[in-house]
Amino acid sequence: MSPELLEMLRRVDTPTVCNAIEVAQGRRGFANFTRRTMLSSAPEAGALVGHARTATIAALAPSAEDPAVLRERRMAYYRHMAEAPAPSLAVIEDLDGDDAVGAFWGEINANVHKGFGLSGVVTNGVMRDLGDLPDGFPVIAGRIGPSHGFVRVESIGQPVEIFGMKVRDGDLVHADRHGALAIPAEVVPALADAISRLLATERLVLDPARRTGFDFEAFAAAWAAFEAART
């Protein structure tokens, strides 16, 4: 990922990237995105873009594992995050799913991960401490709750699934208040051009629609130009 592509991805929203991937692939049907409404701790923030650092957690019930094992795994988790290449973001699957109650993401963990250099987090789990989360580190989560429950790390660096989005450690992820997607590696070289072509094509409709006097005839002409540019 070139610095130019990274900057472009940070400027556009996740729906735009979702459409641009289809432009790069030359067909509809891209499907590796989140399928549920997600909540952003900073909905007006720009997009999160980076390589995934994955892990799974659980919190609903106490673990039967030895506490020393849990502590060792947690420190291994933090090392994994601290060694992430820039740009990276945490992608964390809460194995409790719809029963998730334990907020792994609050004031302390958000500040620690920001200090490690990560850009933010995408999780199907719980966030809290909304007034105290650090600026510049959006948390995009499945829900909000007050408790940490019995939260602990279950695995590190394994493939995860966030509301239907499947992510491997190192995958390129784009996320914002709309949700998240994993960018297929094979489209990365063509993605900047695809985004530029998509935005230019959309302007064929948007520019006329924003002009005074726009009517059905103007729409029909704009839509014909739009469809011709898409094919």
Structure tokens that stand for 145 in this block: 């709750």
Q: Is 96 annotated as a binding residue?
A: no
Considering only CA atoms, which of 42, 180, 194, 187 is closest in space to residue 124? Answer: 180
Cα gap 217→231, rounded to integer Å: 22
CA distances from 116 to 71, 79, 211 (A): 19, 9, 47
Cα gap 73→156, rounded to integer Å: 8
Q: Is 98 annotated as a binding residue?
A: no
Considering only CA atoms, which of 17, 74, 59, 52 is closest in space to residue 148? Answer: 59
Phi, psi of 97 (to 5 degrees): 55, -130
> In 3-state terms, what secondary structure has residue 32?
coil
Cα gap 167→50, rounded to integer Å: 12
Is the distance from CB of 175 to CB of 89 less than 8 angstroms? yes
Is the distance from CB of 107 to CB of 132 less than 8 angstroms? yes
Q: Which residues are annotated as a binding site?
A: 128-129
Q: Which residues are annotated as a binding site for substrate?
A: 128
Q: Which residues are annotated as a binding site for Mg(2+)?
A: 129
